[in-house]
Structure 1
Amino acid sequence: MSTSRVRVIDLETAGNGANDVCEIGWQDVVVDADGRWTVNDERGALMVNPGRPISPETMAVHHILDEQVANAPYWKEVAPAVLRPSGKIDALAAHRAAFEQRYCTPRLTGGLRWICTWKCALRIWPELPRFSNQMLRYQRMPQGLVHEIGLPAHRAMPDAYVTAHHLRDLLNAASLEQLLAWSAEPGLLPRVPAGPERGKSWERISTETLTGFLNERDADVRFSAQTELARRGELEPPALVEPVQRTLI
């Protein structure tokens, strides 16, 4: 009997090119016999040959060396088996999923929908001060997270494992469809991220100042200001726009 399953993906890259993946990690989150979402033992990582030298900037983050990926298969050889494994997959997930979606294109994923755990964390835990994957780890201390499995940070499998614990708790707090809907929108920031109003919640900002935020380049800031103005009856609610995955090909 099939069960609901979401696969968390994390990538490490050699740079910013279309095929620059040098490692992919995954961790599944499934529904258990009691109907609760849980992190299972289906996890792993594979090295990927990016076809070019790894940049010093990215090497300084993940510490993957060129010689470690020299004999690995290329991205298009590795990706399908991880992104479309045997058995049912309801969605893919990642923390700040837009990054993974640059490489995990619809052609490779079969058009699976994505959950962004960063966007969903903004909704479920707005009181938290920070929302990076590792800050959520230590602010929340998710139950059952084995510290050693989640290390080293900034490697594909450990990061996917940590993200999966956030996803599990998000799925147990809101429905799969709700998380997918939030993930299709820009991020709803709980506070103003920069400028003279930095750190203030949106409801504390004057309508005039909020209107000025509508000209910001940052889509998350614009969306957050629009949402607050709509709450006050000053604007129509922001329209839901399905994100387009960039192929970079």
Structure 2
Amino acid sequence: MLNQRLRVIDLETAGDGPHDVCEIGWQDISIGADGQWQLNEERGAHFVKPGRPISPDTMAVHHIRDEDVADAPFWNEIAPSILKPPGGVIALAAHRAAFEQRYCRPRLSAGAKWICTWKCALRLWPHLPRFSNQLLRYQRKPEGLVHEIGLPAHRAMPDAYVTAHHLRDMLNQASLEQLLLWSSQPGLLPRVPTGLDRGKSWDQLSLAALSEMVAGRDADLRFSAQTEMERRRIGLEIEAEPAQARLL
């Protein structure tokens, strides 16, 4: 049913161009009889013929060769049937979904909403040291993940299968609406990822350091620093209110 299914998407590409997809994989999750989200049997993958030869750099990651995709359909031919399956989906999802969204444009996906499991992992599991799809797999050890189905890594269906386990657990921990909201915002980094303050929590930074990051180009850094500055501003306002009441 339309209101009970989400589809996790993963893409492998021949490079960075707009028509460079060479494989698409998917794994669906839906609401079970117990009211909890769970993976279902709807998963698969298709090779896609890209607009140019696959680069050696990307071939070395996913091991998809030009001869593997020679007879495959082009991206615009295959994408709609996977992104808009019969019955529809509530939303599409991917780990670091901005990458998939570059290729799964609204006209191919019917303007579907997106959940980014990377951004949601930052919010729900900030205690974890790192947040890549495969590291979450081994840090968290999601229940029911069949090791062999999730292999080989860096292929579209296995990666979508792994991501779907993270998404299932996220949806059983937070609401769909909350995940969509977090996904629409930049990533809220739990710690400073680079520079002299690398590894520090945001409350350890000086106001000058936060202000420098707010002025930077990285959207996730800016958002994280702005969030900490707002937290401090609200804290100061709360502290000031009782003092004013005593004076009155």
TM range (shorter): over 0.9
SS of the residue corresponding to residue 38 of structure 2 reads strand
SS of the residue corresponding to residue 197 of structure 1 reads coil
Compared CA separation, residues 213 and 51, structure 1 to 2 (3 A): closer
The higher radius of gyration belongs to: 2
Q: Would the aligned equivalents of 2:2 and 2:89 in 1 still touch at CA under 8 Å?
A: no
Q: Which residues in structure 2 correspond to 1:110-149 (within 5 Å)? A: 110-149=110-149
User: 1:234, CA displacement in angstroms?
Assistant: 7.3
Q: Which residues in structure 2 correspond to 1:21-40 (within 5 Å)? A: 21-40=21-40
Letter in 2 for 1:181: L
SS of the residue corresponding to residue 232 of structure 1 reads helix
CA distance in 2, matches of 1:168, 1:51: 34
**Identical-pair percentage:** 71
Structure 1 partner of 2:15: 15
Q: Which residues in structure 2 correspond to 1:1-249 (within 5 Å)? A: 3-233=3-233
SS of the residue corresponding to residue 153 of structure 1 reads coil
Output one character per residue of 1:198-231: Cα deviation in whole Å (capped at 9) or x when no partner: 0000011112211111112110000000000000
User: 1:154, CA displacement in angstroms?
Assistant: 0.1
Q: Would the aligned equivalents of 1:3 and 1:31 in 2 still touch at CA under 8 Å?
A: no
Letter in 1 for 2:124: I
CA distance in 2, matches of 1:46, 1:31: 26
CA distance in 1, matches of 2:2, 2:177: 18
Structure 2 unaligned runs (5+)? 236-248
Question: TM (normalized to structure 1)?
Answer: 0.92
Question: TM (normalized to structure 2)?
Answer: 0.93
SS of the residue corresponding to residue 233 of structure 1 reads helix
Q: Would the aligned equivalents of 2:2 and 2:90 in 1 still touch at CA under 8 Å?
A: no
SS of the residue corresponding to residue 179 of structure 2 reads helix
Q: Would the aligned equivalents of 2:23 and 2:156 in 1 still touch at CA under 8 Å?
A: yes
CA distance in 2, matches of 1:34, 1:192: 40
CA distance in 2, matches of 1:154, 1:87: 29
For these two proteins, the number of residue pairs brought into alignment is 235
Structure 1 unaligned runs (5+)? 236-249
Superposed CA RMSD in Å reads 1.2
Q: Would the aligned equivalents of 1:92 and 1:112 in 2 still touch at CA under 8 Å?
A: yes
User: 1:88, CA displacement in angstroms?
Assistant: 3.1
Output one character per residue of 1:52-111: Cα deviation in whole Å (capped at 9) or x when no partner: 100011101100000000000100110000000001300000000000000000000000
CA distance in 1, matches of 2:196, 2:16: 33
Letter in 2 for 1:164: A
User: 1:4, CA displacement in angstroms?
Assistant: 1.1
User: 1:3, CA displacement in angstroms?
Assistant: 4.8
Q: Would the aligned equivalents of 1:4 and 1:88 in 2 still touch at CA under 8 Å?
A: no
Q: Would the aligned equivalents of 2:213 and 2:222 in 1 still touch at CA under 8 Å?
A: yes
**Deviant stretches of 4+, over 3 Å:** none
User: 1:2, CA displacement in angstroms?
Assistant: 5.4
Structure 2 partner of 1:242: none
Letter in 1 for 2:71: N
